[in-house]
Amino acid sequence: MPGLGDATRGRLLFGGDYNPEQWPEETWHEDVRLMKAARVNSVTLGAFSWSKLEPEPGAREFGWLDTLMDLMHEHGVGVVLATPTSSPPPWLGRLHPDTLPVTEDGRTEWWGGRQHFSHSSPTYRRFAAAITEDLAARYGGHPALTMWHINNEYCTVDHGDQAAAAFRRWLRARYGTLDALDEAWGTAFWGQGYDTWDGILPPRLPHYLRNPAQVLDFRRFTSDMLLECYTAERDIVRRHSPHVPVTTNFMPLWSGVDAWRWAEEEDVVSVDLYPDPRDPLGAQHGALVQDMTRSQARGPWMLMEQAAGPVNWRGVNHPKPRGLNRLWSLQAVARGADAVCYFQWRQSRQGAEKFHSGMVSHAGEEGRTFQEVKRLGADLERIAPAVTGRPVPARVAVLHDWHAWWAGDQDGRPSRRVNHPEVLSAWHRALWQAHLTADFAHPEHDLTPYALVAVPQLYALTDAAVGNLLAFVGQGGTLVCGFLTGVADQDDRVRPGGMDARLRELFGIRTLHEWWPLEAGETVDCEGFRGTLWSEELEGDGTADATVPYRGGELDGLPAVLRKGRAWYVSTLPEPGPLRDLLASVARDAGVRPVLDGLPEQVEAVRRGELLFVLNHGREPVTVDVPGTHHDLLTGTDVTGRVTLGRYGAAVLRP
Ligand code: GLA
C-alpha cells in the first residue's frame, strides 16, 4: 500500500482546500503566484464540485478541472483530488428523493446545504460510484495527483426506510437469528421481542427511553455504512491509480465513526482540527487530537484542515492572535504531522463560509494572515528534511474505544454529567501538563510497547479487552484505570457485580456497593485531594498494597484510590492538579520520564526523531533549560544550556 511518504517525498505538505470554481480564471493565476510566494506545495481540489462536474444527470464537465490540474502541475503544486460525493447536486435529491437522509423524527434533510445523502441509498451509491469512476479514469495518471481524498467528513445519520432495510441486513449478518438478536438486545425488558426482521427499525423517536443495545448497534451500523461508502470509492480510485495513497478527513473525536476501524482502511490518516484560539486549553485539545491521529496512523499523519484565522461556526468567532497559527502548526508537526493544510486557500466572498478565514483572507496579500502563512511556509521548508517520516516516541498509552463511548453515552444512566470525551480529555490534559508524551490505543491493541497504560474510562469492555489489560499487567506493565470502567460487556449488558470480576480482583475490590455521582460544582474530599463528577462506594478485598481513602461524607474511610502491584484504580475524577500529580507519580514509578525536567507550565516539549520541539503557549517570553548544545533549525543558530522563546515562540532543536 502506498503511504503518506509517497505524497510528501521528503517535504512537509503545505497548502489547503482550494475551491477555484468560486473564482474567475484570472484569480487562478493570482493564486499560483501567491502559492509560490508562500511555498504552498499541495492543494485539495474538487471536494464540493459535483454539480460543476455533473451539472445534469450523466453529463461530464471536466474542462475546468483539466486546466487546473495542469496549472497546478506547471507550478509544482501537488493535487489531493477529492471525490465530490459529500455534496450531491440538487438534481439528485429532486429526481431521487430516496437519496436524502431522514432524521429520527422523520424529517427529510434537503439539499441547499451539504452532506444531504443517505449512506444506505443504492441510488446515491450508484451515482457516487459513477462520478468517482470517471474522475479516477481521467486523473488517475495525471502528474499533479499526489493523493485521493474521498468525500469530506463522513458524518450523516439516516433513520429512513433505506437505512431501516440496510440495518436489518446488517443485524442479520451480525446475529443470524432473531433469538440471538433478542438475547443481545435484552428485549425481554419492556416486551420488545421481535417476531420478524421486518419489525426492526432504526431507533426512531420513541415515547420514552430507547433500547440502549439497539442504539449501540445502530451507531455501529451507521459507522459501517459510511465506511462502505468510503471503501467503495476508495476501491474505484485504487483500481485506476494503485500507487496513489487514499485518505478521508476525520473530524476529531467525532462520535459518528469508529476511527480505529476506519484508519485500517486508509493509506493516510488525516484530520481537521479547529481549537478555539480563546480556549486556554486549545493547545491541549490540539495535542490530544494530534496524538490520537498519529496513533490511528501508526506513524506520520496529515493535518488536512485547520483555520489560518477565525472559523465561522462558533457563537463568537475569534481570530488567531499573531504567532498562534505558526505555533499550532509546529505543534502538529512535533506530534507527527507530515502535512499542514487548511480550510481553505482563499476566503470565499459568497456562501455559508464567507466569514471563515482562508490562507488568503479578505485582506489579501498584504493581510497579516497571509503574511504569517508565508512565514510558516518558509519555516516548514527549513525543518522538513530533518522531520518528515520521523516517529514520535511515547511510552504511555491512553485507551479509547468508540463502542465503549457509544454504549456509555446514553440516556437512563446514573449521571448525565459523565461525558466520555470530557473524561478522556481531563486525563490526557493531566499527562500533557506533566510533559509526558502519550499515544492512544484501542483496548484490544498490542500494549507491549508501553510502560504505562491509562484508561480514563471504558464503560464497556469485551472479554478480549479485559484479557488484554490483565496480560499487560501480568507482563510487568503499569495500568491506571478511571471510574466506571469495565461495567458492561459488548452488548451493554451489565457485568455481574457491576464491574468485571477479573478487574475487581486486579485492583483488590471485593464489592462495588453503589455509585455516587456528583452534581455540578460538588466535590468529594479524598485524602490529599478533591474528587469531582463521580465517586464510588467500594469495599476492598484486603489485597491492595495501598489505598487513598475518601474523607468525610457518606464514603468516609472507604477507598477512593486503590493500588495493587502495578494496577491502580481511581474511583473519582480528581481535580486537574491532583490528577496531573497522580499520573506523573505513577509514570515515574513505571520508569517513564517527562520530555524535559523543570519545564514552565506554558511550555510544551515533544521529541520527534532526533529533534526536540519546544513550544511556548504563553504570551510572555520564557527561558527554558535544555541541557547540552543544540542547533535551532528555525533560526539557524546554536543554543547551549537554555533557549529563550518569545510570545507563542518555538524552537526546533537538533542535538
Ligand atoms: C470542515 C469542512 C470544511 C469546512 C470547515 C470549516 O472541516 O471539511 O469543508 O466546512 O469545516 O471549518
Residues 41 and 390: their CA atoms lie apart, in Å, by: 20
Choose the residue to mutate in 80, 115, 305, 347 for probing ligand 1, maximizing ligand atoms within 8 Å of C-beta: 305
pLDDT at 177: 98
What is the enclosing helix (H) or strand (E) of 149? Answer: strand 145-149
pLDDT at 1: 83
First to last CA, the chain: 34
248 lines ligand 1 (CB under 6 A): no
pLDDT at 378: 98
Contact 461, 494 (CB under 8 A): no
How much is the average pLDDT of 630-646? 98
How much is the average pLDDT of 388-414? 97
Helix, strand, coil % (nearest 5) of the chain?
35, 20, 45
User: Quick check: 472 pLDDT over 90?
Assistant: yes
| Residue percentage of the chain with pLDDT more than 90 | 100
Each residue of 565-577: pLDDT tens digit? 999 999 999 999 9
Residue with CA closest to ligand 1 atom 5: 343
Residues 652 and 611: their CA atoms lie apart, in Å, by: 7
Q: CATH 3.40.50.880 in the chain, residues? A: 396-589
632 lines ligand 1 (CB under 6 A): no
342 lines ligand 1 (CB under 6 A): no
Residues 373 and 276: their CA atoms lie apart, in Å, by: 18
pLDDT at 130: 98
How much is the average pLDDT of 411-434? 97
Catalytic site residue 604? no
Sheet strand arrangement including 301-305: 246-247, 145-149, 78-82, 42-45, 13-18, 337-342, 301-305, 270-272, 249-250
How much is the average pLDDT of 33-50? 98
Residues 417 and 492: their CA atoms lie apart, in Å, by: 19
How much is the average pLDDT of 147-154? 98
Annotated catalytic residue: which of 305, 372, 536, 604? 305
Residues 255 and 565: their CA atoms lie apart, in Å, by: 35
Q: Which of these, 90, 87, 58, 70, lies nearest to 28 by C-alpha position?
A: 70
> How much is the pTM?
0.98
pLDDT at 72: 98
Each residue of 326-354: pLDDT tens digit? 999 999 999 999 999 999 999 999 999 99
Each residue of 475-523: pLDDT tens digit? 999 999 999 999 999 999 999 999 999 999 999 999 999 999 999 999 9
Q: How far is the CA of 96 from the centre of ligand 1 (A)?
A: 26
Residues 468 and 405: their CA atoms lie apart, in Å, by: 19
Contact 271, 289 (CB under 8 A): yes
Q: CATH 2.60.40.1180 in the chain, residues? A: 603-654
Q: HEC states along 8-52?
A: HCCCCEEEEEECHHHCCHHHHHHHHHHHHHCCCCEEEECCCCHHH
pLDDT at 137: 98
Show Cβ contacts of residue 655 under 8 Å, excluding neighbours closer than 6 positions: 610, 612, 628, 629, 630
402 lines ligand 1 (CB under 6 A): no
User: Quick check: 68 pLDDT over 90?
Assistant: yes
Residue with CA closest to ligand 1 atom 11: 343
Please report where in the chains the cell 487513598 appears, as a residue. Answer: 548
Please report where in the chains the cell 432473531 appears, as a residue. Answer: 178
Residues 466 and 470: their CA atoms lie apart, in Å, by: 6
Farthest-apart Cα atoms in the chain, separation: 78
Q: How many residues does the chain have?
A: 655
Q: How far is the CA of 273 from the centre of ligand 1 (A)?
A: 9
Rounded to the nearest integer, the mean pLDDT of the chain is: 98
Q: What is the DSSP letter of 97?
A: G
Q: Which residues pair with 653 in a beta bridge?
A: 612, 632
CATH 3.40.50.150 fits 603-654, yes or no: no
DSSP assignment of 303-349: EEE--SS--SSSSS-PPPPTTHHHHHHHHHHHTTEEEEEES-SB--S
- How distant, in Å, are the alpha carbons of 51, 289, 309, 362, 364 from that of 345? 21, 23, 12, 11, 11
Each residue of 131-140: pLDDT tens digit? 999 999 999 9
Catalytic site residue 575? no
Classify residue 478 as left (phi > 0), alpha (psi -120 to 50) or beta.
beta
Residues 329 and 332: their CA atoms lie apart, in Å, by: 5
Q: What is the DSSP letter of 579?
A: H
Residues 463 and 490: their CA atoms lie apart, in Å, by: 8
pLDDT at 444: 98
Residue with CA closest to ligand 1 atom 7: 272
356 lines ligand 1 (CB under 6 A): yes
How is residue 343 written as a grid cell? 480550510
Rounded to 5 degrees, what angle do the CA atoms 584, 589, 593 make? Answer: 55
Atom of ligand 1 nearest to the CA of 307: 12
How much is the average pLDDT of 452-461? 98
| Residue ranges in 89-211 assigned as alpha helix (H) | 90-95, 122-139, 161-175, 178-185
Annotated catalytic residue: which of 54, 109, 153, 604? 153
- How distant, in Å, are the alpha carbons of 464, 477, 490 from that of 468? 6, 11, 15
Each residue of 153-170: pLDDT tens digit? 999 999 999 999 999 999
44 lines ligand 1 (CB under 6 A): no
Determine the CATH number of domain 396-589: 3.40.50.880
Q: How confident is the model at residue 465 (pLDDT cuts 50, 70, 90)?
A: very high
